[in-house]
Structure 1
Amino acid sequence: MKIGRIELDMNARCVRRDGQDLRLGSRAVDLSSAATTDEVLRAIAYGCGVDMPEDVVCSERLGAALSNAAWLLVLDGAEHVISVVAQIVEALLAAA
């Protein structure tokens, strides 16, 4: 997958964590059109295949949904919402 100047192998199948091989899920999410926290959360959820009802959009719920597997999550086009992305990623890592 080529994203701007970055080329990644999104076909990685596993990662080693705490001495165990874990299945690795990989997703790339384009955030260039997201402007709010809710839009960023919805874009990440959609990109990862997580169903989040319109009235329940929160990083804790997204973190819980993604915590069952190891993820390589590429968030592209996030420069304009970088502080929002930083808060969301922090919550996702806390849930992992």
Structure 2
Amino acid sequence: MTPSSAPCYKLINKNQGSHAMNPPSDEPAPRRSGVDPKLLEILVCPASHGPLEYDAAAGELISRKAGLAYPIRDGIPIMLVSEARQIRDVP
């Protein structure tokens, strides 16, 4: 392999210098479930600008004010009204 075609496994951060990175493996990365609590503190419903509640069983963020449920895919909330599911009679 020539130096230009060799895979690069080093990540350079201008503020902290170089850090070695592990080469990729065939094992899938562990899947995160849930949403970071700090992220939940700052997210609001894009339709109503109201608070959101995390429904772990459904994997959604619920906006009671707007009656919408936003999906969470691979640990990332999809905060698009067009992707939200309309909900009724939220307890």
Shorter-chain-normalised TM-score: which range?
Answer: under 0.3
The higher radius of gyration belongs to 2
TM-score w.r.t. length of structure 2? 0.23
**Which structure has greater helix proportion?**
1
TM-score w.r.t. length of structure 1? 0.22
